[in-house]
Amino acid sequence: MTQLQADNPARATSEDWIVKCVGLTKTFRDFWMRSRVRAVDGINLDVVRGEVFGLLGPNGSGKSTTIKMILGLLHPTSGRIAVFGHHPSDVAIKRQIGYLPEESYLYRFLNARETLDYYGRLFHQPRAQRRMRIEKLLEMVGLDRVATRPVGEYSKGMQRRIGLAQALINDPQLLILDEPTTGLDPIGTRQIKDLIVELAGRGKTIILCSHLLADVEDVCDRVSIMFGGKVRRAGTVDELLVQQDHTTLQVPSLSPDEIEALEQVLARHGKHIERVERPRQRLEQLFLDIVHEAQAAGLDTSGATSGGQIATFLTGGDDDGDGEAGDAIIDRLVGGSAAEPTTTAPPSPPEGAHPPAPRAPAPDAEPDQAVDRNVLDSLMGGGDDGGGEGGGDAPRRDGKRGDTKR
């Protein structure tokens, strides 16, 4: 799969389709078999290998129903679905799928470690591999210190974290996330977004179902916007959001005189400045900075920690790896976890400019980040994921893609 194909699914080959829905319809009937609700109405969806696909829509628009049909939990009334080229009820394809539902559907009586152990067993994972992955995932989602508490005692955010961990236990090729950031604090939200970017960069395909538009905008390559069971708009994020008739310049702060001079120059070209404003820092970034400072001051919390490095088996590392690669990238992946606060975050562009670059894991990028990326790339090295459940034949995404878009 190439970037071009991800941007333009029409040019993708049949081998690149991960999910393909044609004329998908789901009608719910009442007791008397009368059509009651047409939840999904003849939609066509194509998700290609290696892309982050956003499924947007308000409540009741049919996103979750679509997801459940893709997963085989609901049967389509008409239309066809192929996942990895097979029917969704095919058990074999589920080895390559990770699913985070919109709510916690976990066993309340199991603790976090037992929960992951259970789901690991379902993938026929041997004991040693299960243990290693469980420890790495618990650390990654920040639940290693509360791993022996029953999941039923967890807060909603902690349940989302363990839910995410179970979705990743098999190192899936296709990750389906249904409202993944619901109930999470901004740190957790940021982590999940960074994780999505990272996994996509490693060749995983991700379907993100959400009504939190900022989340989708931050990480998705393509989106489909649903309403009333139909796809109303579809395309890449740029195609849908870039205003072709406007240009935003970002320059160091200008005085009124300089703005006046600029206005005169533009007037000679028949243009004028419509709006002048100072860019604002995003609230998310401000919040993260405050939390970093509190953590640096040593203040403790009884809940989940901020999470650790991304599990090495997810990034193509050896299942038995010692996590050194993660050390190299931890700042970038979990900026909120750093002992020292980040103070050099660049301001976000002003309104009307391009959206925040997707695939940019953290806005607080620093020069040493390039080193981290190199370390990570050298570790991943385009090699196969030996411990992955879904095989390692997925083409690796170019890690610079996000930067390119930025």
What is the contact surface with other proteins in residues (CB under 8 A)?
A: 28, 36-37, 39, 60, 62, 64-65, 68, 71-75, 91-92, 94-95, 97, 99, 101, 103, 105-107, 109-111, 114, 118-127, 130, 144-146, 148-149, 166, 170, 229, 295, 298, 300, 305, 308-309, 327-328, 330-331, 337-340, 368, 371-372
Quick one: 227 exposed, middle or buried, by C-beta within 10 A (0-12, 13-18, 19+)? middle
**Closest approach of other proteins to the CB of residue 398, in Å:** 24
**Closest approach of other proteins to the CB of residue 220, in Å:** 22
**Cα–Cα distance, 131 to 345 (Å, whole number):** 37
**Closest approach of other proteins to the CB of residue 95, in Å:** 5
**Smaller CB separation from other proteins, 63 or 405:** 63
**Closest approach of other proteins to the CB of residue 397, in Å:** 24
**Smaller CB separation from other proteins, 33 or 92:** 92
**Closest approach of other proteins to the CB of residue 156, in Å:** 15
Q: Tokens standing for 64? A: 């979750």
Instruction: Output the CA–CA distances (angstroms, integers) from residue 13 to 127, 193, 199, 237, in the order listed.
Output: 38, 28, 22, 22
**Smaller CB separation from other proteins, 93 or 223:** 93
**Smaller CB separation from other proteins, 6 or 291:** 291
The one-letter amino acid code at 340 reads E
Kindly write down the DSSP assignment for every residue of 245-276, as one continuous string: T------S---HHHHHHHHHHHHHTT------
**Closest approach of other proteins to the CB of residue 120, in Å:** 7
**Smaller CB separation from other proteins, 261 or 371:** 371
**Smaller CB separation from other proteins, 148 or 264:** 148
**Smaller CB separation from other proteins, 105 or 239:** 105
Q: Taking phi first (over 0 means left), then psi (-120 to 50 degrees means alpha), and beta for anything else, what does residue 209 get?
A: beta
Residue for token pair 């650390």: 139
**Smaller CB separation from other proteins, 91 or 249:** 91
How many CB atoms lie under 10 A from the CB of residue 119?
A: 20
**Cα–Cα distance, 141 to 70 (Å, whole number):** 26
Those residues whose C-beta lies under 8 Å from the C-beta of residue 251, and which sit 6 or more positions away, are: none
How many CB atoms lie under 10 A from the CB of residue 128?
A: 10
Instruction: Output the CA–CA distances (angstroms, integers) from residue 88 to 24, 75, 161, in the order listed.
Output: 13, 9, 26
Judge whether 237 and 217 are in contact, CB under 8 Å. yes
How many CB atoms lie under 10 A from the CB of residue 376?
A: 24
**Closest approach of other proteins to the CB of residue 264, in Å:** 47
**Closest approach of other proteins to the CB of residue 305, in Å:** 6
Task: Name the β-bridge partners of 101.
Answer: none
